[in-house]
Structure 1
Amino acid sequence: MTLCRPKQVFRTEALIIIVGMMLCGQAAAQTFQDNSTSDARLRVATPLMAHPSNGPVVPPFSRPEALFTDPFGMTSWLRARGIALTMDNTNEYTAAISKPTPGYPNYKQGSSNAGQMNTALHINWEKIIGLKGFATHTLFTSRYGTTANRMMGDWLAHSSEIYGGGGNVVVHLVTAYGEENLLGGRVSIAGGRLTEMSEFSASSLFCNFQNNGFCGRPKAAIDNQYITSYPAGEWGFRVRGRPSRYIYIQAGVYFAERGIYANSQHRTGFHFNSSNIVGQLAPIELGWEPVFGHRHNLPGHYKIGGQVISAPNPDNYYDSQGQPYALSGRTARNHQQTWSTWFEIDQKLLHHSYSNAEGGLTAMTGVIYNDPRTSLRNYETYVAFVDRGFIRSRPYDSFGMVMTYVKIAPGVSDTDMLDLSMVPAKTAPNHATGIQGHETVFEANYQIHVMRGVVFAPDFQIYFRPNAQKNLKNVEFVGFKSQIQIL
């Protein structure tokens, strides 16, 4: 991975902001949770209309507050014809303020920067050729940089969420799929190159933060080599039904592919043939999306789900003969089926009357539990709070805190113990330099709404037991996350 050049990145962002300031007027309310990648998550999180029609319908495409609102009338012209084009840049910088654990020459105190450019293209084919209820969604990204946590020995939770999977190419295809909405939005059918975790166990609230243990989605939710999360896609088919206004149920079938995050297989994302397909994933999720409060301004999302993964997954302790593979030297036993489950909640607890619709205090919590035979992260729990607009004079700013706890699967811990107890010690899996048990990460940030389309958030993170190892000292990071919604 080539290290990025932060000074060049900062100069580019500064130029974009300066040009935008000359072309734009008064600021509105841009947030980390509303950007070019949020459409799929927002469609899951939006309840049915009060009086839906009975015919096909294309839900409106999101229109994030942008630096260039309507350059030369282009945005309005395109959207009037059913075409939505959005583009944004997200940048994340972290620096270790504590020294690494002594005795490990590969660990060092340092800093890193990572970022991405996203381009999303949504087309309403009903407006273009009269194909009622049908839309297509295509998303591209270009990623750069690296993450600082690995310098300190942690490989479980990237201090910069935007790292990896983008192939180090100028254009990487994330998703390209069609979606048909029937019965006024009561039924949604999608198929093509999909990202599973953009719709299952998904929430735009997660990326109010920066650490990859939570942002994107809790990391345990993708603790399997075949589960796709941004920026990876795979062939899939998904159906979502809304039997009532505030309840949905969705299920899908996704085709498990080898190396979905690897440069050797999916460097550009344009590998469309079936040569890498080795099985299927079948997720299902039930959600309740009530709106509380006498003014109906306290939305919540409650979801429970799980999936069966029918593809070869290695055991984390036993070999094919039922013995510890760390001792026998044989290949790990393969399981043709494994599973994952989740239960997650977010609920707005209060609304600030002087703020916009997103203003208020929101709480989040959840647990993800995985098959202990094949997982690295046996389970993860989290609790988080985001308070937007709590300062009256800064209605679009927000303060957030999150704590995640990850428990390593028992088989992984036992394999570490056997590998490291040998003389000489063998190389343990997962870059472990000690027995892995559990890890806690705390993060706090303050999002500053700088101007229209621009958000900047100073950030603090602390790792308790980095890499889930007791032998590694706690590590603190400071940094920032910025987002510029260009179009």
Structure 2
Amino acid sequence: MPSAIRLTPTLLLALASSTALADGDLMTRNTLTGDWGGLRHQLEEDGVKVTGDYSGETAYNTHGGLHRSARYSQNIKLGVQFDLSKLYGLDNGGKVQLTINDRRGNSASEDLVGNRLPIQENYGGLYTRLTELSYERTLFTPALNVKLGYMAMGNDLGGLDSGILCNFMNAGFCGHPLNMSGGSGWTNYPNAHLGMRVKYDFSPSWQLRVAAFNVDPESNGNSSRAWHLGPKHTTGTVVPVELVYKLQGELPGEYKLGYYYDSSNVKRIGSSKQVAGRGGHYLLIDQAVWNDPAMPGRSLHAFGQYSASSEAASPFTKWYGTGVVLYKPFASRPRDTVALGYGRAVQNPRSRDVLEDAAFDAGQQFPNIDGAEQLIELSYGYQATPWLNLRPDVQYIVEPGAFSGKDIDNALVVGLQVKATF
């Protein structure tokens, strides 16, 4: 495959300028590139939906951590969905999704702060890859939806459907609790594996989700496997089960209770022996707590995250996250948001024992540090146009060296996230 074009802010402006005259007002259209003279709309009517987006995240460490400097990372995602019912006139023909992803840049966490929770949620796996080739349709009844193929399991499970958590830039919030993937075969986007996901709607409020995915650690972050759908070295199967409740009414809410089990045999932390299987459970909540009666659309949501994973083989065993998001903070800014969150990632005591033993063997004193990394994040989502979002962001990281066993000063990081829909 040819190398991907890096989409910089300059290139974004060039693309916008080239399509501004052809597709109307740049500031009011839904996508950067517009409707392509009507072709895009016609393709979707015929059953071919083309999508694309860009995210760029710049983070500067102003205090503490390792170094004073800035780092930039970016993610480009291009996709096409084929509606087989429209394309071939089939009854419930289903949909095929093809997605390609490219990531570039440098890590503020690795280079500047030395912490565990990625400051830039779009950093990791810096190459072009296939991230999804799947087929989805209802089966037997509209209440039963099945999806199978090559895909990232975190797209359908382990996160809140409302998207409230991606009002933050740190990967500790955006997505799903990181101890899931840190201690099992659960994979973060854009890592994809062969699998199958089933959803069943008991009612408009209750839904059950069950999935099974191949576990292949050697393919994660491996550029030589970027276009290989089949596994290289299967170690087992990870099976998540998730119960979803969606509260209806003036103050809507979303509640998820999940459990997952990975059948892989893995090395115990601090031991040469292996453990057969590893698992975990989680609870995710997004609840509206206030609506402004004088300003429709203005509301305050509270969220909560709790996740616990096996102590035998997980680098950190618990994650706690909580916070609030204010939608439509000003009457003149109906699509803006203000988000404030707190998170705590608890290191596995066995991992800490390994670090302490290594320091003792090297004749070094182990620093007096907390066994958990903590995060406070504040962001403002400015919806500049329907297709462009600018998010100034501040993160304060407490005990950045908790997982590495190093005494690192608390860090204050300022950043900017830019998201554009093509």
More strand by share: 2
Aligned to 1:484: 420
Q: 2:376 aligns with which of 442, 453, 456?
A: 442
1:21 CA drift (Å): 5.4
Q: 1:339 aligns with which of 279, 282, 301?
A: 279
In the alignment, the residues of structure 2 paired with residue 155 and residue 276 of structure 1 have an alpha-carbon distance, to the nearest angstrom, of 30
Moved more, 222-231 or 475-484: 222-231
The Cα offsets for residues 438-486 of structure 1, whole Å up to 9 and x where unpaired, read as 0101111111111230111111111000032572110011110011111
Q: Is the 8 A contact 1:120 1:140 kept in 2?
A: yes
Name the SS for the 1:259 alignment partner: helix
Aligned to 1:132: 91
Give the unaligned 5+ runs of structure 2: 1-5
Q: Is the 8 A contact 1:349 1:363 kept in 2?
A: yes
Aligned to 2:254: 301
Q: 1:390 aligns with which of 319, 322, 329?
A: 329
Aligned to 1:454: 388
Q: 2:56 aligns with which of 73, 91, 99?
A: 91
Q: Is the 8 A contact 1:228 1:260 kept in 2?
A: no
In the alignment, the residues of structure 1 paired with residue 148 and residue 406 of structure 2 have an alpha-carbon distance, to the nearest angstrom, of 45
In the alignment, the residues of structure 2 paired with residue 90 and residue 24 of structure 1 have an alpha-carbon distance, to the nearest angstrom, of 24
Q: Is the 8 A contact 2:311 2:350 kept in 1?
A: yes
Kindly provide the amino acid, as one letter, of the partner of residue 283 in structure 2: F
Q: 1:188 aligns with which of 119, 140, 145?
A: 145
The 5 Å alignment of 1:370-409 reads 370-409=309-348
The Cα offsets for residues 36-55 of structure 1, whole Å up to 9 and x where unpaired, read as xxxxxxxxxxxxxxxxxxxx
In the alignment, the residues of structure 1 paired with residue 157 and residue 215 of structure 2 have an alpha-carbon distance, to the nearest angstrom, of 16
Q: Is the 8 A contact 2:184 2:314 kept in 1?
A: no
In the alignment, the residues of structure 2 paired with residue 465 and residue 229 of structure 1 have an alpha-carbon distance, to the nearest angstrom, of 24
The Cα offsets for residues 240-291 of structure 1, whole Å up to 9 and x where unpaired, read as 100111110011111111223222553x2x2123432221011100010111
Aligned to 1:429: none
Confirm whether residue 262 of structure 1 aligns to residue 209 of structure 2.
no
Q: Is the 8 A contact 2:287 2:302 kept in 1?
A: yes
Confirm whether residue 72 of structure 1 aligns to residue 37 of structure 2.
yes
In the alignment, the residues of structure 2 paired with residue 80 and residue 355 of structure 1 have an alpha-carbon distance, to the nearest angstrom, of 36
Q: 1:165 aligns with which of 116, 120, 125?
A: 125
The 5 Å alignment of 1:89-238 reads 89-100=54-65, 107-133=66-92, 134-166=94-126, 168-169=127-128, 172-182=129-139, 185-203=142-160, 204-224=163-183, 226-238=185-197
Aligned to 1:25: 25
**Percent identity (aligned):** 19
The Cα offsets for residues 13-45 of structure 1, whole Å up to 9 and x where unpaired, read as 33344556554438569xxxxxxxxxxxxxxxx
Name the SS for the 1:25 alignment partner: coil
Count of paired positions:
412
Kindly provide the amino acid, as one letter, of the partner of residue 454 in structure 1: L
1:218 CA drift (Å): 2.4
Q: 1:285 aligns with which of 225, 232, 242?
A: 242
Kindly provide the amino acid, as one letter, of the partner of residue 378 in structure 2: A
Q: 1:424 to 1:201 in 2, by over 3 A?
A: same
Q: 1:209 to 1:280 in 2, by over 3 A?
A: same
Moved more, 18-27 or 338-347: 18-27
Name the SS for the 1:393 alignment partner: coil
Name the SS for the 1:68 alignment partner: coil
In the alignment, the residues of structure 1 paired with residue 140 and residue 111 of structure 2 have an alpha-carbon distance, to the nearest angstrom, of 52
Q: 1:410 to 1:24 in 2, by over 3 A?
A: farther
Kindly provide the amino acid, as one letter, of the partner of residue 115 in structure 1: Q
Give the unaligned 5+ runs of structure 1: 1-5, 30-64, 101-106, 320-332, 427-431
Aligned to 1:41: none
In the alignment, the residues of structure 1 paired with residue 24 and residue 270 of structure 2 have an alpha-carbon distance, to the nearest angstrom, of 58
Kindly provide the amino acid, as one letter, of the partner of residue 277 in structure 2: Q
Moved more, 340-349 or 147-156: 147-156
In the alignment, the residues of structure 2 paired with residue 417 and residue 454 of structure 1 have an alpha-carbon distance, to the nearest angstrom, of 47
Q: Is the 8 A contact 1:152 1:475 kept in 2?
A: no
Q: 2:267 aligns with which of 302, 309, 314?
A: 314
Kindly provide the amino acid, as one letter, of the partner of residue 419 in structure 2: Q
Q: 1:222 to 1:353 in 2, by over 3 A?
A: farther
